[in-house]
C-alpha cells in the first residue's frame, strides 16, 4: 500500500509492485493440500468446477498464491488496482530484472 512513503493516504494506491518467485515451492500446513478447494463457476447450470490445492499447484502454481492474496485485499476498486501490481511466477526467473527488485527478508 505504500505505508512506508511520506505521501501515503489510505484511499490511494501509492505502493510498489510485488514480484513473487518460486510459487511452485509453496507448502500448506495440515491436510489443506487435499481438503482446500478452488472453485470456478462458468455461469451455466452444472458449470461449477472445483480442484484441490494439490491439483492447482501441479497445473498452475501461481493460482494458489493469487487466490490467497485476493482473499486478503479489500473488495473495492482500490483492491482490484492493488492486485494488478502483484506479479507471481512459478520459477525463479522473471522479466522484472531491469527494475532491480529487492528481496524481502523471510520470516521462517
CATH number of the domain where residue 44 is located: 3.90.1180.10
Give me the domain span that covers residue 76: 18-92
Cβ proximity of 102 and 96 under 8 Å? no
pLDDT at 63: 94
Query: pLDDT value at position 13?
Result: 87
Residue listed under C-alpha cell 523471510:
106
Please check the confidence at residue 107 and state whether its pLDDT lies above 80: no
The answer to whether residue 71 sits within a structural domain is yes
Residue at 8 is within a domain: no
Alpha-carbon separation of residue 95 from 19, 91, 98, 103, 104 (angstroms): 10, 11, 8, 15, 18
Report how far apart, in Å, the C-alpha atoms of 91 and of each of 4, 23, 52 are: 29, 7, 21
Whole-angstrom CA distances from 86 to 16, 37, 41, 47, 55 are: 9, 22, 23, 28, 22
90-106 pLDDT, tens per residue? 999 999 999 888 888 87
| Residue-wise pLDDT tens digits, 45-65 | 999 999 999 999 999 999 999
Would you say residue 1 lies in a domain?
Answer: no
Question: Angle CA(15)–CA(21)–CA(25) in degrees, nearest 5?
Answer: 135
**pTM across the whole model:** 0.85
Number of domains the chain contains: 1
Looking at residue 54, its pLDDT comes to 96
Let me know if residue 75 belongs to a domain: yes
What are the CA-CA distances from residue 82 to residues 23, 40, 62, 63 (Å)?
19, 22, 17, 16
Amino acid at each position: 500500500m505504500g505505508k512506508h512513503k511520506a505521501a501515503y493516504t489510505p484511499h490511494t494506491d501509492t505502493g510498489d509492485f510485488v514480484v513473487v518467485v518460486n510459487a511452485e515451492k509453496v507448502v500448506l500446513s495440515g491436510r489443506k493440500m487435499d481438503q482446500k478447494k478452488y472453485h470456478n463457476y462458468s455461469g451455466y447450470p452444472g458449470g461449477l468446477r472445483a480442484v484441490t490445492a494439490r491439483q492447482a499447484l501441479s497445473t498452475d502454481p501461481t493460482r494458489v498464491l493469487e487466490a490467497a492474496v485476493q482473499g486478503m485485499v479489500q473488495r473495492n476498486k482500490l483492491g482490484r488496482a492493488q492486485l494488478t501490481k502483484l506479479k507471481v511466477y512459478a520459477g525463479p526467473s522473471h522479466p522484472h530484472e531491469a527494475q532491480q527488485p529487492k528481496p524481502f527478508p523471510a520470516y521462517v
